[in-house]
Every structure is written in structure tokens, then in C-alpha cells.
Amino acid sequence: MPNYTFQHIHHEAEDVSVAVDWYKRVFGATAGEPFERAGATWVEVHVGETQITVTDREFATMELGRYQGVDHFAFTTDDFDATLAHCEKEGVHIWFGPVEVPGTTQRIVFIDGPDHVKIELMEQV
């Protein structure tokens, strides 16, 4: 069986520069130079070792309501309280939490990223 590693998340954004700026402000992300491909702007953003490829390719809105598929992605943080305080300072909308995961000492919170991407922040324990 082949070995696999995680390569990237692809974020289809309404406005690439707004999304890239959000990742920089909220997560201290770094970003490569924007480039054009097939009529769209692309930027590779890095949050730690995680790459988020942000593009503005033409898209259509989802009209199906709730769907099966990827619901969110998650980051762990070694300082949950500071991360949460920074998100609040930046005006990040909190979807849910923070709460303690039942049966553990770990806390989680779900935040609203750019283009309503749901992001879970998890306390590293």
C-alpha cells in the first residue's frame, strides 16, 4: 500500500486578498506571491505546516442545503486561551464553544473563517 501525507486544503474564496489577510491576521500565516492560472488568482498560504491554497475560480452557490462532505478543518494550539483571546480581539465570529470535550481536559471552539469556512480550534493536551 502506498504511503500518504496531507498536502493542502483548497479554499475557494470570493476575494482572495480578503481571505489571505484573514489567515495572516488570525493565525499568523505566511503567504506566497499571488499568481494567475486559468483566469483565477491563486495564493499558497501556510499556517504552521498546513498549506491552504486560496483561489477565486468561478463558482456557484450550494443550493442543496445540508450536504455530506467536509464539514470543517481543525488546528491544535499550544495556548488555547491566548488563541481564543486573539480571535476575539480580531472580531472572529464563534460558531460554537468554547467547551470542554466530555471525558477529557481538552477544550474546543468552532470559528467562522473567511467565506464561512468552519474551523475548529483544539487545545493541545
The reported pLDDT for the residue numbered 69 is: 72
pTM of the predicted protein model: 0.88
Confidence bin at 125 (pLDDT 50/70/90): confident
Task: Quote the cell numbers at residue 60.
Answer: 456557484
More confident residue, 69 or 33: 33
DSSP β-bridge partners for residue 111: 94, 119
Q: C-alpha cell of 59?
A: 463558482
State phi, psi for 44 to the nearest 5 degrees: -95, 115
Angle 43-46-42 (CA atoms, 0-180°, nearest 5)? 10
pLDDT bin (cut points 50, 70, 90) of residue 61 is low
- Nearest Cα to Cα of residue 94 among 84, 80, 79: 84
Which of 63, 66, 80, 62 shows the shortest CA–CA distance to 120?
80
